[in-house]
Structure 1
Amino acid sequence: MKKIKQTLYSILFLKCPRCHEGPFLEANPYHISKMNKVKSHCPNCNLKYSIEPSFYTGAMYVSYAVGVAVAVAAYVLLLIFGIDFGPTGIFLTIIGALLILMPYIGAVSKAIWAHIFLK
């Protein structure tokens, strides 16, 4: 159970897949000039974050799944709170949530991808 908590913590807070302490990204995901740039190595345990060129291209598939999860969560929250904007309003709310969370979704997708392949 502790391993699952550590992994979930390091994915959500963008930490190293091995030591769960070192930063995974060069800057905050919302820092536009360095948006979702992954560090080359962990400063804490020296884990190399990329095992081959274009390693994080596969994170696009994870990003799609995370985006769908965010869209479903936004819709469910609208249902739970009883907010009825009609179909167009619901669609625009989901699009807004996805646009606001886009940098974080990309960063979390890269972190999930790294946690799958790097140990």
Structure 2
Amino acid sequence: MLKKGSKLNSILTGSCPTCQEESMYLDKNPYNVTNVYKMHENCSHCGTKYKMEPSFFYGAMYVSYALGIAFGVAAFVITYFFIGEQSLITNFIIIIATLVVFMPVIMRLSRNIWINMFISYDKDWEKHKDEKKPTLR
């Protein structure tokens, strides 16, 4: 469905940004909230280190904020224009419910987007596996 090697594939599947062979997360289900942030240290296929530095994923908070706004606006547009609900209180409740329901997905997507901003797909990752070169662009 999604072409291997594209950033969109890595972002939506949560796979390693370098080789896209395995999931970065210990539990693929984002709704298992106790494990939503638990990640492998390295990719078992290409050896990419996911946490390149301490507090690397703090930057994902900014991405999470933008995704939250996008989900909230989408919930409002669907409720107001397509369903025809005119009450602002009802729209507000639906926006809050949408953000709560999709919170684990937003958290995972924000991490996936953040790491894919810094690491690119390498189609020749097998050749470069043993080299000691940085994976950042």
TM-score (norm 1): 0.88
For residue 64 of structure 1, what is the aligned residue in structure 2? 65
Contact 1:63 1:106 in 2 (8 A): yes
Q: Give the CA deviation at 1:83.
A: 2.8
For residue 21 of structure 1, what is the aligned residue in structure 2? 21
C-alpha distance in 1 between matches for 2:83 and 2:101: 22
Is 1:11 aligned to residue 11 of structure 2?
yes
Over the matched positions of the two proteins, sequence identity in percent amounts to: 40
Q: Give the CA deviation at 1:97.
A: 0.5
Could you report, residue by residue, the CA deviation over 1:32-62 in whole angstroms, capped at 9, with x for unpaired residues?
Answer: 2212222211122221111101110110000
Map 1:40-55; keep pairs closer than 5 Å. Answer: 40-55=41-56
C-alpha distance in 2 between matches for 1:29 and 1:36: 9
For residue 114 of structure 2, what is the aligned residue in structure 1? 113
For residue 34 of structure 2, what is the aligned residue in structure 1? 33
C-alpha distance in 1 between matches for 2:26 and 2:72: 27
Unaligned runs of 5+ in 2: 121-137
Unaligned runs of 5+ in 1: none
How many residue pairs get matched? Answer: 118
Stretches (4+) displaced over 3 A: 2-5
The structure with the largest alpha-carbon Rg is: 2
C-alpha distance in 2 between matches for 1:83 and 1:44: 50
RMSD of the alignment, in Å? 2.0
Amino acid at match of 2:33: I
C-alpha distance in 1 between matches for 2:73 and 2:64: 14
TM-score (norm 2): 0.78
